[in-house]
Amino acid sequence: MITTIRNAWKIDELRRKLLFTLFALLIFRMGAVIPVPFISSQALQGYLDGQSGTIFSLLNAMSGDAFAQATVFALSIQPYINSSIIIELLCIAIPALERLKKEGGEEGQKKIAAITRYATVAIAILQGFGYFTLIRNWSAQSTVALLDTHGVPMWLVGVIVVLAFTAGSAFLMWLGEQITEFGIGNGISMILFAGIVARFPSMVWSMITGVRTWLADHQADGALHPVFVPLFLIGMLALVIFIVFITNSERRIPVQYAKRVVGRKMYGGQSTHLPMKVNMSGVLPIIFAQAIASLPATIAAFAGVTNKSKGFGGALMRLMDSNGWFYCVLYFLLIVGFSYFYSSIQFNPIEVANNLKNNGGFVPGFRPGKPTAEFIQKVLSKITMFGALFLAVVALLPIITGNIVGNNSLSIGGTSIIIVVGVALETVKALEAQMLMRHYKGFLE
């Protein structure tokens, strides 16, 4: 990776793209510390620290701590991600959108992009209003004032705060598009990457503090024993290597194309393969699963119910504790279910089999058409299960480790590592592709 970046830096055009990307990410990090008016950032962050196990932990991790501080970029690019996923699902459910996406060409893609932008603004307004309502309710219940209106009417404060959140999210959407067009590409992922990386120092310190607290319960002085430091470093390095290995892994189905005679020339006859990624769905199953599994705790946070409350609400909160066995089992099943759901949307065996048949291709040992589609579906089910188990292990391992060392903030560590590793690998591949297009001699020797 370092070699690829160093080689790209030697090319003037790629150097300009790298500098543009770094400048855009710097703007993102500057905006992530600009507070929204009327909100006490320090008091809010202290209050959110006690809301572990809710969706707010995930939103804070994706925004680089901007969510907990209620800054201009508190919503980060989550509205755009949600909008993109919703529009993608609607393109499958609504035939008109599906035709516009597949048959509309470049003009159709522009219309889909415009619809996604409008949906992003609408979702940002809803999320901003929900966040402001939550802060207002917390401020009324807490002994510490989270809102300081300075005599301004509450409705006007709400309008200003919601518009600030919405403007920040819309600006990040625009900034991501600029990185995609003038930078090294994949701008939305780069912003997500920068937000997660910005939290790494605090996450590492939180992990060290948790280990020290755990050791304090097992030895007198509570000092961090030197032998635990290399063990944790080796464990983290092994986890990263494992994620890189699975991310690059794929199942290659051999494909043979029949020979065709067109005029006086013969076409086809070559052998190739159909690549199928093991982790085809990426990190989305973990995000969806965590959002649904943490839904009861999120609703309870709005209602002011805690695990110490009496009645049904308190019993439900104790059952859905993010460190409990029931939550882990539900989390595991949701990850597996969403992995199959997303892979079925992203990869259609019947469509792939028909494309192979129309182009004169076939899988050796299987007749074109339905038998080929059934074989591809069987392979897809197997590798999806393996990819789902991989995601479940990576997602549950930080929770198990957090239970051992007594540190609940590690629960989103697996998700963050998968995103960071995935974006880093995609960036390196994009740089290598651009250097190859420019006939960089290092790839031709």
Which domains, ranges and CATH numbers included, belong to the chain?
1-198 (1.10.3370.10)
- Averaged over 398-426, what is the pLDDT? 70
- Averaged over 412-419, what is the pLDDT? 72
The rounded distance, in Å, linking the Cα atoms of 444 and 103 is 37
| pLDDT above 70: residue 248 | yes
Neighbours of 311 (CB within 10 A): 8
Indicate the pairing of strand 260-262 with strand 250-257: unpaired
Under DSSP, the state recorded for 364 is: T
337-348 residue pLDDT tens: 988 888 887 888
- Averaged over 316-329, what is the pLDDT? 78
Q: State residue 20's pLDDT score.
A: 92
Please report, to the nearest 10 degrees, the dihedral formed by the alpha carbons of residues 214, 217, 219, 221 taken in order. 90
Asked if 246 and 219 touch (Cβ cutoff 8 Å), the reply is no
The rounded distance, in Å, linking the Cα atoms of 2 and 425 is 12
The rounded distance, in Å, linking the Cα atoms of 53 and 262 is 64
Asked if 320 and 326 touch (Cβ cutoff 8 Å), the reply is yes
Q: State residue 228's pLDDT score.
A: 62
The rounded distance, in Å, linking the Cα atoms of 424 and 101 is 29
Residue scoring higher pLDDT (312 or 372): 372
Q: State residue 121's pLDDT score.
A: 93
Q: State residue 408's pLDDT score.
A: 53
Ramachandran region of residue 368, left (φ > 0), alpha (ψ -120 to 50) or beta? beta
- Dihedral sign from CA coordinates of 143, 149, 154, 160: negative
Under DSSP, the state recorded for 348 is: -
The rounded distance, in Å, linking the Cα atoms of 399 and 410 is 6
Q: Phi and psi dihedrals of 362, rounded to 5?
A: -155, 155
Q: State residue 24's pLDDT score.
A: 92
Q: What percent of the chain has pLDDT over 70?
A: 82
Asked if 402 and 210 touch (Cβ cutoff 8 Å), the reply is yes
Residue scoring higher pLDDT (217 or 319): 319
**21-25, 192-196, 255-259: which range is least confident on average?**
255-259
Residue scoring higher pLDDT (96 or 263): 96
Q: What percent of the chain has pLDDT over 90?
A: 11
- Averaged over 369-382, what is the pLDDT? 90
User: pTM value?
Assistant: 0.78
| pLDDT above 50: residue 240 | yes
Mean pLDDT estimate for the chain: 80
Q: State residue 445's pLDDT score.
A: 46
Q: State residue 168's pLDDT score.
A: 92
Q: State residue 143's pLDDT score.
A: 65
**49-58, 96-105, 345-354: which range is least confident on average?**
49-58
Beta-carbon-side half-sphere exposure of residue 414 (alpha carbons within 13 Å): 24
Q: State residue 163's pLDDT score.
A: 94
213-239 residue pLDDT tens: 666 665 544 455 556 667 777 877 888
Q: State residue 211's pLDDT score.
A: 63
Residue scoring higher pLDDT (146 or 229): 146
pLDDT band at 166 (very low <50, low <70, confident <90, very high): very high
Q: State residue 239's pLDDT score.
A: 81
Q: State residue 444's pLDDT score.
A: 46
267-302 residue pLDDT tens: 666 788 888 888 887 777 887 887 787 777 777 766
Q: State residue 261's pLDDT score.
A: 64
Indicate the pairing of strand 250-257 with strand 361-362: antiparallel
Give, in order, the Cα–Cα distances in Å from 123 to each of 74, 167, 297.
Answer: 14, 12, 22
Q: State residue 260's pLDDT score.
A: 67
- Beta bridge partners, 265, equal 262
Q: State residue 27's pLDDT score.
A: 92
378-398 residue pLDDT tens: 999 999 999 899 888 888 887
Asked if 369 and 349 touch (Cβ cutoff 8 Å), the reply is no
